């Protein structure tokens, strides 16, 4: 581990388990990820994490461990398969550190190879939980939380965060580095004449996501508040795509100001997480977090990428409800 490694990599290596080579190269901003198409390594890393977010957490699937370098699925599979021999019920390898039976077993069972293996996995997951609290950088906290929730999935009841349905297949909406272009304009109330915005609301009628239409890619959405999908908490400023026929939505209400509608988020089939936008990070830290991606936005003349606040988009959304 080098001092120049991204803070996320240092935290995982020293406290949990090293991340995969691919994620490490991205977070360390290898030049191959700093392209016009990819934006920067940090952005690309959130695209990789999106592949996991859009997958249902499965008790029989160990693919999530591919986020890490040589975190062996074999050990977890053996612990799960042999648990009944030790009068344990380990139906799911996720959230082992919160399994009360496991805690009791580790506290009172005599030493054995099984106990040692279980202790190692228990400690690793325990170290992962809340890892973001040890991060100093805002952008590091976001990545730590995403990875934590893939291995230690959360619930709506446990977080108080609105849960989005996940689409079964990815819609044909891209996640290019310029996707923020029109959302930045909307934040400053510069909506194109032909443009429309749809506001997805929660069960209390509060704005949750904003969708843009007839401005670049249609059905591109940005979250205005944190949400949860497949057990993973996603911060405000996350980019999503959807695909639906507006004429088939019965519960829609016209906006007060701009063309478009207010739509309950559960009125459509679901959402697909694409990546984090630069708006997910505070303006003061965006250049540091998104490096060449942010520089592209400035060079291409995007509207105030270094000062625009996500709250400005929320204000536009709220104005459509009044």
Average pLDDT value for residue range 62-75? 94
**pLDDT above 70 coverage of the chain, percent:** 98
Q: Do residues 186 and 298 both lie within one domain?
A: yes
On whether the CB atoms of residues 200 and 255 are closer than 8 A, the answer is no
Residues 167, 281, single domain; the answer is: yes
- Beta bridge partners, 254, equal 261
pLDDT digits (tens, 9 = 90+) for 246-273: 999 999 999 999 999 999 999 999 999 9
Structure tokens at 90: 């380990």
- Cβ partners under 8 Å of residue 229, min gap 6: 53, 54, 163, 164, 166, 271, 273
Same domain, yes or no, for 216 and 317?
Answer: yes
Q: Is residue 174 part of a domain?
A: yes
Give residues with Cβ within 8 angstroms of 45, minimum separation 6. 23, 26, 27, 143
> At residue 73, does pLDDT exceed 80?
yes
Q: How far apart, in whole angstroms, are the C-alpha atoms of residue 162 and residue 164?
A: 7
Among the residue ranges 84-88, 139-143, 174-178, 237-241, the one predicted with the least confidence is 174-178
Lowest mean pLDDT, pick from 39-48, 210-219, 247-256, 277-286: 210-219
- Among 98, 126, 152, identify where a domain stops: 152
Please, which pLDDT band fits residue 161 given cuts at 50, 70 and 90?
A: very high
Given a cut of 50, is residue 92 above it in pLDDT? yes
SS (H, E, C) the chain: CCCCCCHHHHHHHHHHCCECHHHHHHHCCCHHHCCCCCCCHHHHHHHHHHHHHCCCCCCCCCHHHHHECCCCHHHHHHHHHHHHHHCCCCCCCCCHHHCHHHHHHHHHCCCCHHHHHHHHHHHHHHHHCCHHHHCCCHHHHHHHHHHHHHHCCCCHHHHCCCECCECCCCCCCCCCHHHHHHHHHHHCCCCCCCCEEEEEECCCCCEEEEEEECCCCCCEEEECCCEEECCEEECCCEEEECCCCHHHCCCCEECCCCCCEEEEHHHCCCEEEEEECHHHCCHHHHHHHHHHHHHHHHHCCCCCCCCCCHHHHHHHHHHHHC
* Domain identity same for 132 and 12: yes
pLDDT at 110 over 60: yes
Q: Are residues 159 and 140 in the same domain?
A: no
User: Are residues 116 and 19 part of one domain?
Assistant: yes
Instruction: Quote the CA–CA distance of 101 and 84 in Å, as a whole number.
Output: 12
Q: Is 47 among the domain residues?
A: no
Residues 223 and 143 in one domain: no
Q: What is the structure's pLDDT at 175?
A: 67
96 and 219 fall within a common domain: no
> What is the residue-averaged pLDDT of the chain?
94
Residue range(s) defining the domain that contains residue 117: 1-33+58-152
Q: What are phi and psi of 50, to 5 degrees?
A: -60, -30
Residue 51 counted as domain residue: no
280 token code pair: 């997910």
End-of-domain residue from the set 83, 117, 152: 152
Instruction: Count how many domains the chain has.
Output: 2
93 and 233, same domain (yes or no): no
Q: What does the alpha-carbon distance between residue 90 and residue 77 come to, in Å, rounded to a whole number?
A: 10
**Least confident residue range of 128-132, 176-180, 280-284:** 176-180
Whether 40 is in a domain gets the answer no
User: Is residue 50 a part of any domain in this protein?
Assistant: no
Answer whether residue 39 is part of any domain: no
Q: Which residue has the higher pLDDT, 133 or 36?
A: 133
Which of 66, 99, 53, 108 has its CA nearest to residue 80? 99
* Six-digit token string for 263: 């739509």
On whether both 147 and 186 belong to a single domain, the answer is: no
Query: Could you tell me the pTM of the whole model?
Result: 0.95
| Mean pLDDT within 148-177 | 89
Report if residue 53 sits inside a domain. no
* Least confident among 69-73, 185-189, 223-227: 69-73
Q: Is residue 48 part of a domain?
A: no
- Domain finish residue from 152, 171, 193: 152
Q: For residue 31, what pLDDT band results from cuts at 50, 70 and 90?
A: confident
Same domain for 183 and 297?
Answer: yes
In the predicted structure, residue 224 carries a pLDDT above the cut 90? yes
pLDDT per position as a tens digit, 197-211: 999 999 999 999 999
Residues 146 and 186 in one domain: no
| Ramachandran region, residue 68 (left: φ > 0; alpha: ψ -120 to 50; beta: rest) | beta
Arithmetic mean of pLDDT, 42-66: 95
Is the pLDDT at 1 greater than 50, yes or no?
Answer: no
């Amino acid at each position: 581990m080098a001092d120049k490694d991204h803070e996320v990599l240092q935290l995982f290596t020293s406290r949990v388990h090293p991340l995969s080579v691919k994620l490490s190269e991205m977070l360390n901003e290898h030049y191959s990820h700093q392209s016009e198409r990819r934006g920067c390594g940090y952005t690309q890393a959130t695209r990789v994490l999106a592949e996991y977010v859009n997958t249902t957490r499965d008790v029989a699937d160990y693919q999530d461990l591919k986020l890490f370098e040589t975190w062996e699925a074999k050990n977890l599979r053996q612990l799960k398969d042999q648990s009944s021999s030790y009068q344990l019920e380990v139906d799911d390898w996720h959230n082992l550190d919160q399994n009360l039976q496991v805690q009791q077993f580790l506290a009172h069972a005599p030493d054995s190879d099984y106990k040692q293996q279980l202790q190692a996995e228990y400690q690793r997951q325990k170290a992962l939980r809340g890892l973001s609290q040890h991060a100093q950088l805002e952008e590091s906290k976001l990545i730590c939380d995403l990875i934590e929730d893939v291995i230690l999935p959360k619930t709506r009841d446990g977080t108080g965060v609105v849960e989005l349905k996940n689409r079964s297949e990815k819609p044909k909406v891209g996640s290019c580095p310029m996707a923020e272009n029109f959302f930045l304009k909307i934040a400053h109330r510069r909506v194109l004449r032909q443009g429309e915005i749809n506001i997805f609301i929660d069960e209390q009628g509060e704005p949750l996501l904003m969708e843009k239409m007839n401005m670049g890619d249609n059905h591109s959405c940005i979250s205005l508040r944190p949400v949860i999908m497949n057990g993973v908490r996603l911060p405000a400023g996350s980019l999503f795509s959807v695909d639906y026929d507006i004429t088939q939505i019965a519960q829609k209400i016209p906006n007060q100001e701009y063309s478009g509608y207010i739509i309950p988020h559960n009125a459509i089939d679901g959402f697909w997480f694409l990546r984090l936008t630069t708006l997910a990070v505070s303006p003061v830290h965006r250049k540091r977090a998104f490096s060449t991606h942010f520089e592209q936005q400035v060079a291409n003349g995007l509207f105030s990428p270094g000062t625009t606040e996500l709250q400005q988009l929320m204000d536009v959304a709220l104005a459509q409800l009044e």
